Amino acid sequence: MIETIIALATPAGESALAVIRISGPLSHIIAKEACDCTNPTPRKTYLVDYQSCDGETLDQVVITLFNEGKSYTGEDSLEISCHGNPLIIELISKDLMNRGCRIAQPGEFTRLAFLNGKIDLPQAESVAQIIAAKNEQALALAQRNLKGKLSNKLLSIQKNILGLQASIEAHIDFPEDDLIKEDHNKHHQNVKTIIKELETLLLQANRTKLLAKNIRVVLAGLPNVGKSSLFNALAGKNRALIHSDAGTTRDYLEFDIKIGKYWITLVDTAGVHNASEEIELAGIEMSLEQAEEADLFLWVIDNSVPHPSELPKDFTKLIQSKPTLLIRNKSDLGENDWIPNYKKTPKAINISSTEKSGLKQFERLLLELIQEITGVDSENEYLVSIRHELLIKNCLDELSHFLQKSKEKVGEEITSIHLSEAREKLDMMIGRKTNEDMLDILFGEFCIGK
Ligand SMILES: Nc1nc2c(ncn2[C@@H]2O[C@H](COP(=O)(O)OP(=O)(O)O)[C@@H](O)[C@H]2O)c(=O)[nH]1
Ligand SMILES: [Mg+2]
């Protein structure tokens, strides 16, 4: 028997309105028996009294019926907009349960939409991503996924693999036409193109992680170079303690600011004083924790003293491991254009935190760097979740096995298996191949009512 599920679709608590969602075969009966609305026109709203089984009017509500196949879940569905009083919501929910409904599991509506073929798995996941999006970029990309852009991309990659496999397997069926060298090269070229596309998606998995939160920008450098002064200049208030004696900052401070479209969390590094946390960087103000969590470093130096000052080797390594902007501070006291001799030269800017000069250009450079690492202004971007990331890696493994085995000339029967496996990974991403455990985990992360 197909059950009818219900859940509150709006946040719990007092509000002007609340929406209770119902999905399943009882939808029509509830419209008729609780709302005195027989055969309502689908998608049309009706203002009615909601009556409990005991004949009590619980609230004046607006209902909308959606017919099977034309609803979010694909089943008959009913939405009840009642007044947003938790007591009313509880009374109606209890009454609906008396009428045979049960409370939905987290994500169950979206799971039904997936199982009934209304959406595929990347689209289902994008529903959760839309709800959880913390900034405009993440939201825009989640909306793209919901429209099926990621699914289309995966399908096109899968089609290319299938085409390749068909062409290879033709030789298995007709072994007398040995694979000529030209075909071999063509196949390899095709696989390499597919690998590139998958690698681009992997890069986007990293960016997706960045978009799930504020970008963490950590100030780093020797004591007394003006990190806290810069932090204050950006935060607009005297939040960080500034002192002309070295090592004044005793704990780390955070401040959220918006640069362009991006929310960043600016972190003023502490003078490290907890030995267990100490990074092997004598004299540098940055804890291991701050360094690990940074998405981007602002490396502040004192522009007024002759440079370069010797920096610990570990610090140099660290600063090269992440995107870094070099800030030559105190330029009011004298300017120089020192730049470290690194493989990848960091972008650099001269500023004065106390005179507040150079800050506009600094923000522009920072924005450029953030755009480089998030790279979300292109039309070909998607949100790529951790689940996708793992499957893309598996798919890439299969393709490199394919390349390896065909080099070893082990025969098309064997190399072709790797292409089947690669396609299967894509099937799992799209949701053509699933298992209950995976769906439980995936939809379990949703909120109830979605
Ligand atoms: N002239 C000048 N002094 C600065 C500038 N920025 C910071 N200072 C001074 O440098 C000293 C150390 O600054 P602070 O921000 O505490 O450095 P931190 O140890 O790196 O956090 C303070 O006396 C500041 O007033 C600047 O742009 N110009
Ligand atoms: Mg400081």
Q: Tell me the C-alpha distance between 428 and 186, whole Å.
A: 27
Ligand 1 binding site (Cβ under 6 Å of any ligand atom) = 223-229, 242-244, 248-249, 329-330, 332-333, 352-354
Q: Are residues 205 and 235 in the same domain?
A: no
Answer yes or no: is 113 within a domain. no
SS3 category, 43: coil
pLDDT string in tens for the chain (450-residue length)? 899 999 999 988 889 999 999 999 999 999 999 999 999 999 999 999 999 999 999 999 999 999 999 999 999 999 999 999 999 999 999 999 999 999 999 999 999 999 999 999 999 999 988 888 877 778 888 898 999 999 999 999 999 999 999 988 877 766 655 556 667 888 899 999 999 999 999 988 888 887 778 899 999 888 888 998 999 998 876 566 555 554 444 467 888 888 887 889 999 876 544 444 444 455 566 777 788 889 999 999 998 887 656 677 777 888 889 999 999 999 999 888 888 888 888 999 999 999 999 999 999 999 999 988 876 555 668 889 889 999 999 999 999 999 999 988 888 888 999 999 999 999 999 998 888 888 888 888 887 788
344 — phi, psi (to 5°)?
Answer: -110, 110
Least Cα distance to 63 among 75, 73, 49 occurs for 49
Whether residue 232 contacts residue 239, with contact meaning beta carbons closer than 8 Å, is answered with yes
Q: Tell me the C-alpha distance between 52 and 172, whole Å.
A: 68
Answer yes or no: is 275 within a domain. yes
Q: Are residues 287 and 359 in the same domain?
A: yes
Q: Are residues 336 and 277 in the same domain?
A: yes
Q: Are residues 254 and 349 in the same domain?
A: yes
Q: Are residues 199 and 223 in the same domain?
A: no
Cα-to-centroid distance, 276 and ligand 1 (Å) = 28
Using N-to-C axis directions, what is the helix angle for 121-132 and 136-146, rounded to 10°? 160
Q: Are residues 242 and 364 in the same domain?
A: yes
Which residue owns the Cα nearest ligand 1 atom 28? 330
Number of domains in the chain: 3
Q: Are residues 251 and 398 in the same domain?
A: no
Least Cα distance to 3 among 28, 23, 31, 19 occurs for 23
Answer yes or no: is 114 within a domain. no
Atom of ligand 1 nearest to the CA of 246: 19
Q: Which residue out of 222, 331, 354, 355 has the highest number of ligand 1 atoms within 8 Å of its CB and is therefore the one to mutate?
A: 354
Residues 6+ apart with CB under 8 A from 154: 122, 426, 429, 430
SS3 category, 394: helix
State the pTM of this model.
0.70
Least Cα distance to 426 among 385, 392, 382 occurs for 392
For residue 90, give its domain range. 5-104
Answer yes or no: is 117 within a domain. no
